[in-house]
Amino acid sequence: MPRKNKGGLLARVNFPLYTIQILTSRHILVGGGGGSAKTGVANGFEIFELSHDGVQFIAEEVTRHETGPSVVMNCATYNDGKNTWIVAGQESHCQLYSVHSRVVTLENGDIPKKSGIPNPEGLRQRKKSERSEENIRNNAERVEEIKDTNFNVKSKKLQLIVKSMDSIQTDFGEKEALQRIVRVSPSGKVMVTGGTDGRVRIWKFPQLLKLHDMEAHTKEIDDMDFNPDGNLLASIAKDGRAVLWDVTTGTKNKELTWNPPGNAKYLYKRCRFSMSEEKTPKTQLFTLSNAAVGKNPSYLQLWDTEAGLIVKSVSFRETLSALAVSDNGRFVAVGTMFSGSVDIFIAFSLQRVLHVAGAHSMFVTGLEFLPTRNDGPAITSNAETAVVSISVDNRICVHSLPFRYTVPIWVVIVCIILSIFCAFVFCSYMGI
């Protein structure tokens, strides 16, 4: 049976959330806003640092960047250990940001507190010094408190500074030009964008020079993703098509098709690549497919991209809205539209291992697994995996899966042998 939820509310912001990305091994970025209408709701993105106190996850706001009248509906990040970049969709344009760190000194009451529980004696507690070079490379906050001659408490802290760089128009829709999706390749050499005009555009990154402009779909693009090698791109759109592209040449590789039950009409909603953990790794693609008629089930599908066939699928009784795959390829998470639920599955078997009913009060807009492969310390020390979810309800939640303990095979064999031996002795004693 699926395990009970071990996560919960991580943070709350004052604007609807539409996109989430992993920035470093310890930082997440969330973006959204209220749009161009003068509603008083801000547009922009926030960066949070995550940590774990041995019991629960903790999020502390590091940076907030407002984008004026342009809501951040989609974004992507890239971090090579030296440079950190953010590309954010703002209407028909894509805005490039660079992220740098600086050390600031805080005194007395300026020292940030990760816990909302006040000290009853009014004393400020000192934090342990952590000066790991790995953490500095990942822009992680490190606090070292010292006392000056006046016995004032000081702290040194790394802050993340976001600087606006180039901006380019990436969509040219006739009725409404709008960038729907942006992704950066695993190597960080190219970026891909898609929007309401149905064209897939590949750009040199971070120079933002156009390399290919493909007439990919007849309707607006919903999602795209690079495979782990970065040489293959998947795109899905509201025309009901899922297409694989050769990134180097900008040409079509193949189109993925399947036969829905009862010949019902289905539309792809999300797509994510993953590498299988078999001895001979294969590139696999996960997709979410929603029925055009609400009464029909929705599906999480696992594709063998080489054969162009669906290997496994799981059905849902409601519309699906969000998808994420862990960086080690072991888990896949799905978010739903109406109930705001989150589910985690084992990737190769699509066995459900965690169900979080009503994780959000409205539909899930984004999911991201906490990283396990990045440089720097992992923050999921007491969980096998953890996924962060966002929604237009302004809430950021985390859902963790406890380690699944298994019995070694040799213990099972020994127990079977002992059981047979005991049964034989008992039968002999009873004269059977």
- CATH at residue 402: 2.130.10.10
Whether residue 42 lies inside any domain: the answer is yes
Report if residue 422 sits inside a domain: no
Tally of residues, the chain = 432
Q: What is the pLDDT of residues 262-311, one digit of tens each?
A: 889 999 999 999 976 655 567 899 999 999 987 899 999 999 999 999 99
Query: Lowest-confidence range among 166-175, 272-281, 333-342, 408-417?
Result: 272-281
Residue at 148 is within a domain: no
Exposure of 263 in the CB half-sphere (CA atoms within 13 A): 0
Tell whether 128 is covered by a domain.
no
Per-residue pLDDT, 119? 37
176 within some domain: yes
- What whole-number distance in Å separates Cα of residue 240 and Cα of residue 201? 19
Read off the pLDDT of each residue in 155-173 and give the average, rounded to a whole number.
88
pLDDT (tens digit, 9 = 90+) per residue, 219-229?
Answer: 999 999 999 99
Specify the pTM: 0.81
Return d(Cα 105, Cα 95) in angstroms, integer. 31
Q: What is the distance between the alpha carbons of residues 277 and 327, in angstroms, rounded to a whole number?
A: 12
Q: Which residues pair with 268 in a beta bridge?
A: 289
What is the average pLDDT across 59-73?
A: 94
Q: Which of 33-37, 164-168, 172-176 has the lowest mean pLDDT?
A: 33-37
Q: pLDDT value at position 372?
A: 84
Choose between 117 and 105: higher pLDDT.
105
Least confident segment among 67-76, 85-94, 171-180, 368-377: 368-377
* Residue in 319, 401, 321, 326 with CA at minimum distance from that of residue 368: 326
Does residue 417 sit within a domain? Answer: no
The answer to whether 220 touches 195, Cβ cutoff 8 Å, is: yes
| Structural domain includes residue 158 | no
Mean pLDDT for 162-180 is 95
**Contact criterion met (CB below 8 Å) for 10 and 359:** no
pLDDT value at residue 428: 80
Domain count of the chain?
A: 1
pLDDT at 250 over 60: yes
Over residues 366-378, the mean pLDDT reads: 78
Please give the C-alpha separations between residue 317 and each of 37, 344, 360, in angstroms, as whole numbers.
35, 16, 17
In a domain, 391, yes or no: yes
Average pLDDT over residues 156-178: 90
Report whether pLDDT(376) > 70. no
Q: Residues with Cβ < 8 Å from 352, sequence gap 6 or more?
A: 2, 314, 343, 344, 345
Residue 106: per-residue pLDDT = 64
Q: Look at 109 and 247; give whichever has higher pLDDT.
A: 247
Which residues form the domain of 305? 8-100+166-409
What is residue 268's predicted lDDT score, i.e. its pLDDT?
97
CA dist., res. 156 & res. 133, Å (int): 15
Q: Across-strand partners of 77?
A: 86
